[in-house]
Chains A and B, each alone.
Chain A
Amino acid sequence: MKSFRLACTVNGERVEREVVSSRSLLEFIREDLGLKGTKEGCGEGECGACMVLVDGKAVNSCLMMAVQLHGKDLVTIEGIKGKAGGLHPLQKTFMAEGAVQCGFCTPGLIVASEALLRRKPRATLEDIKLELTGNLCRCTGYEKVLSAVEKARDEKNA
């Protein structure tokens, strides 16, 4: 199997690793980097539990190959932090609003919401709903998830 010298940034740190060409980005994150906060829910890009930021955009890491990360910037849930290094505003609003139940979809939802608010700081409720259709949650009925993202948006713009 062909292997490749992969150089990228992971949560702000420079990383170089040998990866085989068949390795998915999700496997690279969970198995090679040992970052277990990124979850596998379906393995085919339907549920969003494995979402990470690649160059600031939310991607399903199960659908991207690790080698495609070469020269790029990866942020996983472990790298989503507040300005002072504590909890990120989205993490705080998810907790305060009660948007976390079983929690398996939560890292993906926070990553997807962060990508949206970076791209569109004044995203409307409809924008948020549309953006998060790729993140399945079976527990919450989404109400508290949407209000958590709205609260974080409002705090960001305040």
Chain B
Amino acid sequence: MKRTGKTMEKLSYVGKSMPRKDAEIKAVGSARYAADRDFAGMLYAAAVRSPRPHIRIDGISDAKARKVPGYAALVTYKDIKGVNKWPVVMQDYPFLPEKEARFAGETVALVVAASEKAARRAAALVELRYKELPFVEDPLEALEKGAPRVHGEDNVFSTYRIKNGSVDEAFRKAAYTVEGEFSTNYQVHAYLETQGAIAVPEPGGGMTVHSTTQCPFYVIDAVAAALAQPYHKIKILQTVTGGGFGGKEDVPALVASHAAICAAKVGRPVRLIYGRKEDFQSMSKRHPGWARVAYAADKSGRITACRVKYVLDGGAYSTLSPIVLWRGTVHAAGPYKVPNVDIRTYAAATNKVPCGAFRGFGQPQISFAQESLIDELAAKVGMDPLKFRLKNLLKPGDRTVTGQKLNSSCGLAEIAQAVRRRSGWDRKWKSPSVKGDVASGIGFSVAYYGVGLGAGGRYLDRAGAMVNIYKDSSVGVSVGNTEMGQGALTVLAQIAAETLNAPYAAVRVEEVDSSKVPDSGPTVASRTTLMSGNAIIDAATPLRERIFKTAYDLLLAEGADASLPMVAANGVFRMGAKSVEFKKVVSGCWSRRLKMCEQGWYTAPRTSFKNEDGQGDAYVIYSYSADAAEVDVDLRTGVLKVRKVWAAYDVGRIVNPGLAMGQAQGGILQGMSWAVYENLVYKNGIMVNPNFTDYVIATTADKPEYDITFIEKPYAEGPYKAKGMGEVPLIGVAPAVANAVRNACGARVRSVPLLPEKIWKEIRKG
């Protein structure tokens, strides 16, 4: 490369809306999701679930189930060859319970039968003898002394503290203070494809598992542990995945392990595909959150202090709660310069469905609280809330509440200004209108998001890739992070094609096969473009050198003028009037017997954050969002309609603008749907509405108008200077909507979702 000098100044694919690699197979219906796969001799599994929130298991009998035609086997914890602990963060969740089940819907056993219908019928006939035990539903009650015990001595899965400066003194000296309690309800992922896996036994005790998942390497950890087999006998093949949003981070490992335990017992392929109701009842959710937040400001309107107590409802097992809470903790004061902070956070255990990852990962709940309260603080100071934010926002060179100094890739002020300008903020915020019974208003919010796992997952933050250039010049790329709808296969193909100067059409990125690429950590935290992208560049760089050298030699052999620079673009290499195509260059490489397959590896830079004092660099880099929402509120009924959302993001350089737009629109609607409609209800420890009839998500009719701007602050370490995109658009929507409702009709609603009755009550209070 050094020899061929200054090539690649103009990018061929990165920064362009290249067509989605998997769009056609999905549009014609030929993409094969987990439930679409079939294997000779395959049997079907169905779960037997706990009917009550907390039980002691006294016996499980299949005497009646055996009579169902096609019945094959009952599978309980006794069939687990390995240690009966699902290896996730804290290992408190057994694959199958032995003595106690801790939430209604927990799998206590499985049955295997010749058809799905037979398996479900048999599961319903399995008799579970149990004794009910005391249970706790409310996370704040769970933290009180004397509450029924779900976890340890105090029902606390984890707790963190970030303390800096002198908060009490700052509040004493403050010119203005505000304080408020806020809460948010669950959010169900509602991926259109439910959870599922097919486990296929291999000779000699091995197992191949076809799994719909974001995290094939969590699946291999779990399946190997459950079967007590070495990893090299277990292969995880990610199937085309019908949506994840965090919901297919951890729990697919549990579902796949159940399928594998069944398959190991019966010695035949076993398919376990969830129905929608059991998916609601037992799979992970966004944690309900509760927070008490207080801010202090000086006379000039500068924020001087922030105090937070933040509690997440973790459910019956810890799963990912410790790391969800950690991310929420780090971001809890908002993207502001705050010299004095005291943030205390807790993940509480309750006898309900275990909560885990969901786009935003512990941030949307606390962002709703702190961004609502920032509006109230601005009102006390007597400032426009957007201008108040501009005065306090983090800028390059500023330090976050953990003491992390921000580098130049921070476009927070610019994105806030972009939204201000595009939404007509200055005029609209000052003059909310009432026409007839409909009040209209506008609200604003900002958020920041640490890209990747950061210090909370520093030992997992690495990724591998394999780039294999075949003789015919087609390029196969294997990675360890997954496509779940977000467009990873496309963006990663762009990065590979760009680095190799291969034609885009020649590059194919495959769904993850755990045997091809080393453990690359999870596909979460908006880390795939950054981590897998850099791993691909690492693998492709030596290949690029061989290809470029060969191209150079071929061009000289064709009589090109050696004094001219070689220009490589769109799969063609040129020197003056001479040119050679990628295909011919690859053929030249093969005839020189060059190595045309390479492995790549990328590890995230070091993070210095320490839990002991809550100080240090928490993440390697941050992405940023600003949102303005315009709403109509019916003053008679409290019914809320979000009319338009303006958003601007700094997510570094954009690899594919079309896909980035899709992430933005989808994230905004998911955030709006959570803020306005989605309301999962528990009553006496039982989920009341586990279906799409009674749990409402936004449809085409509810969709607001979108106005989206990207301000690209390059990140030097990122692949082609990209950061991370996926989660950023969801986080700030709920507080922008809540602040708009306040602007429209004076109602300050402090809990999500903003149901009509809540708004109506606040309007009536006046």
Contact = CB atoms under 8 A, between A and B. Distances in A.
Nearest to A49: B192
Contacts of A46: 691-693
B236 interface: no
B30 A141 contact: no
A142 B193 contact: no
A95 B24 contact: yes
Contact of B243 (A104, A132, A141, A143): A104
Contacts of A42: 276, 691-692
Given A101-B666, A102-B242, A138 B697 contact: yes
Given A91-B27, A138-B190, A141-B703, A101 B35 contact: no
A103 B485 contact: yes
A121 B691 CA distance: 34
Contact of A39 (B24, B192, B484): B192
Given A102-B242, A130-B701, A47 B692 contact: yes
B692 A37 contact: no
Contacts of A135: 699-700
Contacts of A103: 22-23, 25-27, 31, 240, 242, 485
Contacts, number: 166
B485 A139 contact: yes
A56 interface: no
B668 interface: yes
Contact of A44 (B17, B693, B700): B693
B178 interface: no
Interface in B1-54: 17, 19-20, 22-33, 35-36
A76 interface: yes
B193 A41 contact: yes
B27 A102 contact: no
B388 interface: no
A36 to B, nearest CB: 4
Contacts of A87: 24, 27-28
Contacts of B189: 138
Interface in B521-577: none
Contacts of B31: 103
Contact of B670 (A43, A96, A100, A138): A138
Contact of A98 (B20, B25, B190, B693): B20
Interface string B483-515: 011110000000000000000000000000000
A37 B30 contact: yes
B665 interface: yes
Nearest to A86: B28
Nearest to B645: A141
Interface string A24-53: 000000000001111111111011010000
A144 B657 CA distance: 13
B119 interface: no
Given A36-B32, A42-B692, A106 B27 contact: yes
A128 B193 CA distance: 24
B192 A102 contact: yes
B112 interface: no
A136 B692 CA distance: 9
A39 B33 contact: yes
A90 B658 CA distance: 18
A19 interface: no
B706 interface: yes
A70 B49 CA distance: 38
A141 B193 CA distance: 17
Contact of B26 (A100, A138, A140): A100
Given A138-B189, A138-B192, A37 B28 contact: yes
B591 to A, nearest CB: 38
A141 B705 CA distance: 10
B275 interface: yes
Contacts of A136: 190, 192, 692, 697, 699
A84 to B, nearest CB: 15
Contacts of B670: 138, 141
Nearest to B664: A141
Nearest to A129: B700
Interface string A96-138: 1010111111110010000000000000000011101111111
A136 to B, nearest CB: 6
B590 interface: no
A146 B700 contact: yes
Given A87-B24, A98-B658, A137-B192, A36 B36 contact: yes
A98 B662 contact: yes
Contacts of A98: 17, 20, 23, 658-659, 661-662
A145 interface: yes
Contact of B669 (A38, A77, A134, A141): A141
Contacts of A137: 192
Contact of A94 (B23, B32, B701): B23
A58 B248 CA distance: 30
Contacts of A107: 27, 29
B260 to A, nearest CB: 23
B191 interface: yes
Interface string B236-248: 0000111111000
A134 B697 CA distance: 11
A42 B694 CA distance: 13
A47 B20 CA distance: 24
A18 interface: no
Contacts of A142: 665, 669, 699-700, 703
A40 B28 contact: no
Nearest to B668: A141
A140 B242 contact: no
A47 to B, nearest CB: 6
Contacts of B190: 136, 138
Contacts of B242: 39, 102-104
Contacts of A49: 192
B27 A95 contact: yes
B512 to A, nearest CB: 16
Nearest to B189: A138
Given A95-B24, A100-B26, A129 B701 contact: yes
B188 to A, nearest CB: 10
Interface in B264-322: 275-276
A125 to B, nearest CB: 10
Nearest to A40: B35
Interface of A: 35-44, 46-47, 49, 76-78, 80, 87, 91, 94-96, 98, 100-107, 110, 128-130, 132-146
Closest 7 CB pairs of A and B: A37-B29, A102-B485, A103-B26, A104-B242, A141-B665, A77-B29, A46-B692
Given A100-B26, A138-B243, 9 more contacts: A39-B35, A43-B275, A102-B191, A102-B241, A102-B242, A103-B485, A104-B242, A136-B697, A140-B669
6 contacts: A38-B29, A39-B35, A101-B243, A103-B25, A129-B701, A141-B668
